[in-house]
Structure 1
Amino acid sequence: MRENKFKTSKVHKIIFTISLFVVLFVGAVTYKHIENLSQSSKLVVHTYEVNLELEQLFSYIKDSENGMRGFLITRDENYLNPYYTANSNINESFAKLKKLTKDNKQQQQNLNELYEIIKKRLDYNGEYSDPDLSRNIVNTKEFKKNFNESSRLLVAIRNKINQMTEIEDTFLIKRNSIYNEQINLTPILTLSILLVTILLIVYAYYKTNNDLEKLKEANNTLNKAFFLNSQAEILSSFGTWEWDLVTHVTKYSENFYRILGYEPYSFPSTNDNFLTFVHPEDKEIVLGIMDRVVREENLPPSTFRIIRPDGEIRYFRATGKLFLEKLKHKTVLGVTHDITDEINNNKLLEENIQSLEKLNNELIIFDESSRQAEILGNYGSWIFNFETNEFIYSENKYRLMGFEPKSFQPTLENLMDHIYEDDRELVQEAFENANTTGEIPALNYRVVRKDKEIRHFKTVAKSFTDLSGLESMIGTTQDVTEDYHKNELLEERNYELEQNIKELSEFNHVASHDLQEPLRKIQTFISRINDKEKENLTDFGKDYLIRIEKASSRMRILINDLLQYSRTNRGDNVFTQVDLNEVLANSILELSQNIEDKKAIIKYDSFDVIEGVEFQMQQLFTNLISNSLKYSKEDVVPEIVIKYKKVKAKNEPILKEDSHEVYHKIKFTDNGIGFEQENAEKIFLLFNRLHGKTEYQGTGVGLAICKKIVENHNGYIFAKGVPGKGATFTIYIPKYI
Structure 2
Amino acid sequence: MALKRLVSSPKFYVIMLIVATALLIFIGGISYKQIDRLNKSAEAVSRIIEVEIHINQLFTAYSQMQAAELKNHLLQDSTRLSSYRVYRDKAMDAIITLEELTKNRPNQQKILESISVWQDSLFLALNQLTARPLKNPVNDPQEKEKIGKVSATMTQLNLLRNQLQRAEQSELEKRKAQYATQITLTPLTTLFLSFFALCIFVVSFIQINILRKKTTRAEEFLKSILAGSDNIIGYLLPIYNNTGDRITDFKIAFTNEKIESVLGKNPEELANTKVSEVVPAYLRDKVFQELVHVMKEGAPRKFESFLKQNGSTRWFKTTATLMDEGVLTTTTDSTTEKVYTKNLKHLNKRLEERNKDLGQTKAFLNNILESASNTVSHLESVKDESGNIIDFKYLFSNKEIENLTGISPNSLIGKSISEVFPLIHSNGLFDLMVKCATEGSVETLETQYHLMGKWKWIHTTINKLNTGITVTSYDTTAIVKAQQELLELNEQLTIQNSILKDAESVAKIGSYRWDVATGEASMSDNFYRLLECEIDEFVPTFDNYRPYVHPKDQRMFEEKLQYTLDKKHDNVFVYRIVTKTGKIKHFQHSGHFVQDKFVGVVKDITKELKDAQKLQERNLELKRSNKELESFNRVASHDLQEPLRKIQIFISRITEGNLEKNSERNLEYLHKISSSANRMQNLIKHLLAYSRLKKNKKDRTLIDLNELVEKILEDYEAPINEKKINILLHPLPDINGIPFQIEQLFSNLLSNSIKYTSVLEPPRIEIGCQKIKRKNIEDDFQKKAANYYCITVKDNGIGFDPTNAEKIFGLFQRLHQKNEYSGTGIGLAICKKIVENHRGHIVADGTLNKGAIFRIYLPA
Is the TM value for this pair above 0.5?
Answer: no
TM-score interval w.r.t. the shorter chain? Answer: 0.3 to 0.5
Give the TM-score of the pair, scaled to structure 1. 0.45
